[in-house]
Amino acid sequence: MATDRVPRIRLRSVPAYAALIVRGDELDPMVIAEDASRFQQRFSEWGRYGISAFEAANDAEIDAVCQTRLVRFATVVVFDRHALDEAGIEIVPTFRRPHVTLCHQALEQLVERLVHCEHRVLSNPYHVGEHEE
């Protein structure tokens, strides 16, 4: 059950075959740390630092997430589930599908593990900048 200090966690787990998408910035450690710190402040009773990501099962779903949820980002970072598991990053299905939170109890560990985790950086063909319409 969600409270103001704990995120809403879905009962259905993230499938083992899922790819996970994080917004761009090509894994800038400063941006990850700032986002994860804001998350921890907002959900302080949960005891984790986290960053938002989106679950996708295949390239078509990655494309759909880019088109609907990540249009403000010129690039997206795609992790395979097994790479995140091997890096020791917890993947929690939060809020509404396809949202997930990539998290760890220690901020430095989360940042370090994400930056060094195997991933792909893709151009977002649906990117719309601030001055574009």
Q: What pLDDT is recorded for position 4?
A: 73
User: What is the distance, to the nearest Å, from the Cα of residue 46 to the centroid of all Cα atoms in its chain?
Assistant: 17
d(CA 75, CA 29): 16
The tens digit of pLDDT for each residue in 8-52 reads: 888 888 888 888 998 877 899 999 999 999 999 999 999 999 999
Specify the pTM.
0.89
- Specify the DSSP class assigned to residue 70: -
Q: What pLDDT is recorded for position 86?
A: 96
Identify the CA nearest to 77 among candidates 52, 60, 94.
52
Q: What pLDDT is recorded for position 9?
A: 85
Identify the CA nearest to 117 among candidates 78, 75, 83.
83
- Look at residue 49 and give its three-state secondary structure: strand
The tens digit of pLDDT for each residue in 77-109 reads: 999 999 999 999 999 999 999 999 999 999 999
- Look at residue 55 and give its three-state secondary structure: strand
d(CA 54, CA 33): 18
